Structure 1
Amino acid sequence: MRSYDQFCGLAYALDVIGDRWNLLVVRELLLGPRRHRDLVEALPGVASNLLGDRLRALEDAGIVARDAADGRKSVVYSLTPAARTCASRSSPSCAGAAVRWPPDPGPTTPSDRPGSGSPSRRC
């Protein structure tokens, strides 16, 4: 997994879920627990082995929980309570961002630009 190597909550979150497919896996698990096969079907284009790698990485990061129910062969994946709380808190932000698309093009006057006395946009 690549890293931004920055001491910032947002940068760390991107380190964990910023890889291709990870955020889409989280989106699917927000709908409820899913089996590997369910996720493959819901994410057209993802290879089964790549999805397995992503699920293991998300599990190692504490975002996804893996449950092998009562000796059955099938494994069910779900979001951990902490990941679900974080995702539910960010959902209104995501909805608001979609309404404001395309994004603001940025500062239009020299006095609005970072380094000109105005606060910079940082983590």
Structure 2
Amino acid sequence: MSSSTEPLQTATGGGLPEGATWALNLLARPWTPHLLLLLAQRPTRYRDLHTALPAMSTAVLTGRLRTLTDAGLVCRRLVDGDPGVHYEATAVGAALARPLANLAATAATLYGVAR
């Protein structure tokens, strides 16, 4: 164990680059990682997202999609011949989803060990 007298860096911005703080604060919101992981897989309709995450209210789903879209992590688009709106991860959203997928896989592996 280190006995350094230097202050610890915190996840609230102390010593972290501004972009890291922005991403961590955004991804720490409930359901946001779930949505980003789903949308990084393929473009998905609103109703299919709601079906995939039935415990998430429609109000929260709408709000999270708006937040992710405003942040540039998700885009909303109409598809010819399809009456529904599709959401998909942007390149930036997909890049942030990769470490989330690794975290989820590691957590799933360790879950039984930690219990």
TM-score, with structure 1 as normaliser: 0.65
% identical aligned pairs: 32
Would you tell me which structure has more helix in proportion to its own residues? Answer: 2
Q: Quote how far apart the aligned CAs of 1:80 are.
A: 0.2
1:6: which partner in 2?
A: 13
CA distance in 2, matches of 1:23, 1:90: 7
Instruction: State whether residues 37 and 101 of structure 2, in contact with CA within 8 Å, keep that contact through their aligned partners in structure 1.
Output: no
Match of 2:67 in 1: 57
- The structure having more radius of gyration, on CA atoms, is 1
Cα separation, partners in 2 of 1:30 and 1:6, compared to 1, 3 Å: same
Amino acid aligned to 1:35: R
Post-superposition CA distance 1:55-103 (Å, at most 9, x none): 000001111111022486411000001221232255445434544553x
The number of residues matched between the two structures is 99
What root-mean-square deviation, in Å, do the aligned CA atoms of Structure 1 and Structure 2 show?
A: 2.5
Q: 2:77 aligns with which of 63, 67, 86?
A: 67
- Check if 1:33 corresponds to 2:43: yes
Q: Which has the higher contact order (CA 8 A, sep 6+)?
A: 2
Unaligned runs of 5+ in 1: 103-123
Give the Cα separation in 2 of the matches to 1:17 and 1:80. 15
Q: Does 1:45 align with 2:55?
A: yes
